[in-house]
């Protein structure tokens, strides 16, 4: 039984977090860009930017880049600056919640707790809208700090909801997180305002670097945007190389488009499923989806209380119906069935089961029967939100889960009840939200619990364990809806501790469903003569790409000529995946060249059409 109250799900809009000079009524700055400078030219480029009227927001020495707002008319001149490698958009990043918690059991968290793994000793950083640190479910949680000033407040509720899924305390009130409040939480606030708002890719990179500097092993980003950034990609690759696991929401567009940062290779992209383990219709589906987790009707912590109910001395989570009268109703609790007509309910709090007629009609019948408040409980498992329409009500009307409703009807009838729909914006609220934003923190929490059980594991081993042990959903193997499947805490721990799965989690076996395994393919082979004359080399210019068609750098490639000339050689691909092989003094046409092997860290070669002839 859950205590305290539930809020109506927020419709999250756009508002700036800090330092960019935007207000809730403005949109993202169209003049804000990344500027990548050449080594040794930082000072010159900074001077050029300021001379062009630019305003520098962030400077990233390790990436060789500035985030800056520059007038549009100055951009072309800057692109011609010999000290600047490239200029790209500093893309907006948005929170990804939609609306409305069963997921804890689904991801096997309690089984991990039983084995002693609760996340202790691991820091998770949440980049979001801050946290309502005064919430009852964060008391006792080690909130180690955050950035900037005001990180411990949350005006839109999104960050608090996300953090609750990761770490809400096991304290007999409200909800419990995947890590039961044992982990360390560091908060970086990048969204603000009642509508949550927007931020930038450079702000996100700065936030992620602050997470790493604070000691975070896991970063959760329930946010994203539709355009990629080379500089942002490099930043998250650097963090992964440094041992930080970044987890992000796959996106809520319900289509195949990529969302960033989730779709970078160094970030775990998380899709949403419902309580039946079915793919959520709003969840993105694409080749970068890596794992799935609960993201529909997820109950978690928020600052807002829209309603409260105490019946027979017990507090219950309820949600104020949209349009309800804001006030308090109390009296003896009675059962009104489905409240299909008015009864003799004068001075009573009436329990109504959902179904048959509208919420507004049920409220009207309770009012006509003299009831002081209506509690409408679900006719199927879980909770719900609802509206009373334009007519509203003249008494408090709230919704309740089926489980709690049956508890009241079964054991609390005849006791005293009190229902309030007076809103408290800085309270101990709870809400059901939908979104990949809600799925992502499940995975971040699982990663923390697994890491606490195997503290010597590398970031690659943690990532592999989550993928290898995921419950396969949908098509066999990795697919675009679920990735490798539903993340599972205890199974991943067993895998890493030798209780199940591959005994060597560092093994880059391409038959393992390992997200760090890269399938290499031949993108192109071009056979050509490199000069004129009777004895001329024939060169095979080869491009090696990964399964996403991106050129692979630093891969070792074995190529063989056969026919009039034969022999094999080994070359290494450049940054674009290119490598060349030469015959040495041969110009004939009876010649075949084949790529026979491509090797690299966790790389497998899979191409049956890797030969060219001339």
Decide if 128 is catalytic. yes
Q: Which of 437, 440, 452, 604 is catalytic?
A: 437
Cβ-count burial 400-412 (b if 16+ within 10 Å, e if not): bbbebbebbbeeb
Alpha-carbon distance of 146 to 216, in angstroms, equals 11
Q: Is 60 helix (H, G, I), strand (E, B) or coil?
A: strand
Decide if 437 is catalytic. yes
Q: Which of 57, 135, 158, 442 is catalytic?
A: 158
Per the document, the length of the chain is 614
Alpha-carbon distance of 377 to 394, in angstroms, equals 19
Alpha-carbon distance of 471 to 126, in angstroms, equals 26
Tokens 């990735």 identify what position?
A: 483
**CB 97 within 8 Å of CB 11:** no
Q: Which of 29, 31, 90, 128 is catalytic?
A: 128
| C-alpha distances out from residue 215 to 122, 123, 182, Å | 9, 7, 16
Alpha-carbon distance of 288 to 290, in angstroms, equals 6
Task: At 165, list the tokens.
Answer: 């899924």
**CB 594 within 8 Å of CB 560:** yes
**CB 164 within 8 Å of CB 301:** yes
DSSP characters over 11-41: --EEEE-SSS---TTS---TTEEEEEEPTT-
SS3 per residue for 78-146:
HHCCCCEEEEEECCEEEECCCECCCHHHHCCHHHHHHCCCCCCCCEEEEEECCCCCCCHHHCCCEEEEE
Alpha-carbon distance of 103 to 295, in angstroms, equals 8
Strand extents, DSSP E, 256-415: 267-273, 289-294, 298-302, 308-311, 314-316, 318-320, 328-335, 348-353, 373-377, 397-400
Kindly list the catalytic residues. Answer: 128, 158, 437
């Amino acid at each position: 039984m859950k205590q305290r109250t539930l809020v109506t799900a927020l419709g999250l809009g756009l508002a700036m977090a800090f330092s960019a000079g935007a207000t809730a009524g403005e949109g993202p700055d169209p003049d804000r860009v990344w500027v990548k400078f050449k080594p040794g030219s930082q000072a010159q480029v900074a001077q050029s930017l300021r001379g062009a009227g630019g305003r520098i927001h962030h400077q990233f020495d390790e990436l060789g880049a500035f985030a800056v707002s520059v007038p549009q008319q100055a951009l072309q001149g800057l692109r011609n600056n010999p000290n600047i490698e490239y200029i790209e958009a500093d893309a907006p990043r948005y929170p990804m919640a939609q609306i409305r918690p069963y997921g804890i059991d689904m991801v096997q968290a309690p089984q991990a707790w039983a084995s002693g793994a609760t996340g202790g000793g691991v820091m998770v950083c949440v980049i979001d809208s801050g946290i309502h640190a005064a919430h009852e479910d964060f008391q006792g949680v080690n909130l180690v700090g955050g950035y900037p000033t005001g990180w411990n407040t949350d005006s839109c509720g999104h960050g608090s909801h996300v953090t609750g899924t990761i770490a809400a305390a096991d304290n007999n009130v409200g909800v419990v997180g995947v890590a039961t409040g044992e982990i360390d939480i560091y908060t970086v606030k990048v969204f603000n305002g009642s509508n949550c708002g927007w931020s930038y890719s450079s702000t996100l990179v700065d936030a992620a670097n602050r997470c790493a500097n604070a000691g975070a092993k896991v970063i959760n980003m329930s946010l994203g945007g539709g355009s990629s950034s080379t500089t942002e990609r490099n930043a998250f690759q650097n963090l992964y190389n440094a041992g930080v696991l970044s987890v992000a929401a796959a996106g809520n567009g319900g289509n195949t488009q990529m969302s960033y940062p989730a779709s970078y290779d160094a970030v775990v992209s998380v899709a949403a499923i419902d309580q039946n383990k079915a793919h959520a219709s709003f969840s993105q589906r694409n080749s970068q989806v890596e794992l799935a987790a609960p993201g529909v009707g997820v109950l978690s912590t928020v600052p807002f209380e829209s309603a409260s109910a105490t019946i027979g001395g017990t507090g219950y989570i309820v949600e104020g119906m949209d349009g309800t009268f804001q006030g308090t109703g109390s009296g003896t609790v009675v059962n009104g069935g489905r409240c299909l007509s008015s009864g003799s309910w004068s001075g009573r709090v009436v329990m109504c089961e959902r179904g048959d007629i509208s919420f507004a009609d049920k409220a009207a019948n309770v009012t006509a029967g003299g009831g002081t408040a209506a509690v409408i409980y679900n006719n199927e498992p879980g909770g719900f939100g609802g509206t009373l329409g334009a007519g509203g009500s003249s008494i408090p009307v709230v919704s309740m889960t089926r489980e709690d409703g049956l508890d009241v009807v079964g054991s609390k009838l005849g006791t005293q009840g009190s229902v309030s729909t007076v809103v408290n914006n800085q309270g101990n609220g709870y809400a059901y939200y939908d979104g990949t934003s809600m799925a992502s923190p499940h995975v971040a929490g699982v990663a923390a619990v697994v890491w606490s059980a195997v503290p010597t594991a590398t970031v690659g081993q943690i990532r592999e364990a989550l993928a290898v042990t995921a419950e396969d959903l949908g098509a066999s193997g990795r697919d675009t809806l679920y990735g490798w499947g539903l993340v599972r805490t205890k199974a991943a721990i067993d895998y890493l501790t030798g209780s199940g799965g591959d005994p060597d989690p560092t093994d880059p076996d391409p038959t393992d469903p390992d997200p760090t395994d890269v399938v290499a393919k031949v993108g192109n082979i071009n056979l050509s003569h490199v000069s004129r004359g009777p004895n001329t080399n024939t060169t095979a210019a080869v491009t090696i790409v990964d399964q996403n068609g991106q050129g692979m750098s630093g891969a070792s490639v074995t190529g063989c000529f056969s026919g009039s000339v034969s022999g094999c050689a080994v070359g290494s691909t450049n940054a674009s995946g290119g490598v060349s092989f030469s015959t040495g003094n041969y110009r004939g046409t009876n010649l075949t060249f084949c790529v026979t092997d491509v090797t690299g860290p966790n790389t497998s070669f899979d191409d049956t059409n890797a030969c060219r002839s001339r």
